[in-house]
């Protein structure tokens, strides 16, 4: 298999033809969450408190608060990618912005495709949302913004059942956490991101550390 399409160097040994299974996604996601729950939850809570506090200021505060939430999403992806490699996280890990530019750029391209799809006929936007759900993970592992989005599309098309299950599980966790006074997301958000990242790693056979 040509792993360069996933933004991963070809000179690293990997299992031939990675097979995605329920266990290969949810087992590492749950075990990694258990080992790193405290820094992930505490770090997410800090971002959320900052966003809520700044959001109390009309207009400019709302914009800054929205940007903080975007950065939080990117940082969760970076931490999930690092933690699933077997590294222990600390609260400081949530504020290591080494991965931020690459992931942020990929998220911008991904969001643009979703917005264009919604403008066209809504349904294309929903399809683009699902297909590009793993763009940030691809970016964290070295893909450029455009390649990250196309990589996500390929992975979803190649593994539709497990990809959809991962996306909808992550969405359910994020929504459920947000409904619990908003702060429940600090508990469920990191797990949702770990599930998406574990799917990416399982689908690509990635075994090395993500690329800052």
Tokens of 110: 């991904």
Taking the C-alpha atoms of residue 26 and residue 35, their distance in angstroms, rounded to an integer, is: 14
Q: What is the predicted pLDDT for the residue at 122? A: 85
Q: What is the predicted pLDDT for the residue at 182? A: 67
Write down the domain spans for the chain. 20-204
pLDDT in tens, 168-212: 999 999 999 988 766 899 999 999 999 999 999 999 987 555 656
Q: What is the predicted pLDDT for the residue at 65? A: 94
Question: Which whole-number Å values give the CA distances from 110 to 57, 72, 164, in the listed order?
Answer: 29, 17, 17
Relative orientation angle of helices 160-179 and 123-131, to the nearest 10 degrees: 100
Q: What is the predicted pLDDT for the residue at 208? A: 52
Environment class of 56 (CB within 10 Å of its CB; exposed 0-12, middle 13-18, buried 19+)? exposed
Q: Are the CB atoms for 9 and 209 separated by under 8 Å? A: no
Taking the C-alpha atoms of residue 172 and residue 166, their distance in angstroms, rounded to an integer, is: 10
Is the sign of the CA dihedral 77, 180, 161, 14 positive or negative?
A: positive
pLDDT band of 34, cuts 50, 70, 90: very high
Per the rule left: phi > 0, alpha: psi between -120 and 50, beta: everything else, 182 is left
Residue 1 has pLDDT above 70, yes or no: no
Residue 107 has pLDDT above 60, yes or no: yes
| Residues in Cβ contact with 86 at an 8 Å cutoff, skipping those fewer than 6 apart | none
Tokens of 18: 């990675």
pTM of the model: 0.86
């Amino acid at each position: 298999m040509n792993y360069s399409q996933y933004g991963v160097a070809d000179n690293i040994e990997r299992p031939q033809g990675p097979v995605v299974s329920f266990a290969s996604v949810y087992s590492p996601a749950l075990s990694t969450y258990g080992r790193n729950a405290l820094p992930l939850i505490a770090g997410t809570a800090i971002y959320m408190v900052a966003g809520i506090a700044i959001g109390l200021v009309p207009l400019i505060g709302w914009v800054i608060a929205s940007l903080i939430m975007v950065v939080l999403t990117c940082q969760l992806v970076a931490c999930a990618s690092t933690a699933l490699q077997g590294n222990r996280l600390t609260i400081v890990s949530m504020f290591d912005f080494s991965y931020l530019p690459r992931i942020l750029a990929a998220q911008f391209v991904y969001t643009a495709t979703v917005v264009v799809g919604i403008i066209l006929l809504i349904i294309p936007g929903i399809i683009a949302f699902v297909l590009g759900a793993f763009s940030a993970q691809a970016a964290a592992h070295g893909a450029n913004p455009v390649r990250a989005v196309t990589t996500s599309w390929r992975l979803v098309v190649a593994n539709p059942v497990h990809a959809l299950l991962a996306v909808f599980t992550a969405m359910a966790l994020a929504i459920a956490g947000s409904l619990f006074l908003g702060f429940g997301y600090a508990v469920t958000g990191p797990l949702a991101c770990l599930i998406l990242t574990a799917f990416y790693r399982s689908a690509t056979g990635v075994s090395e550390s993500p690329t800052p």
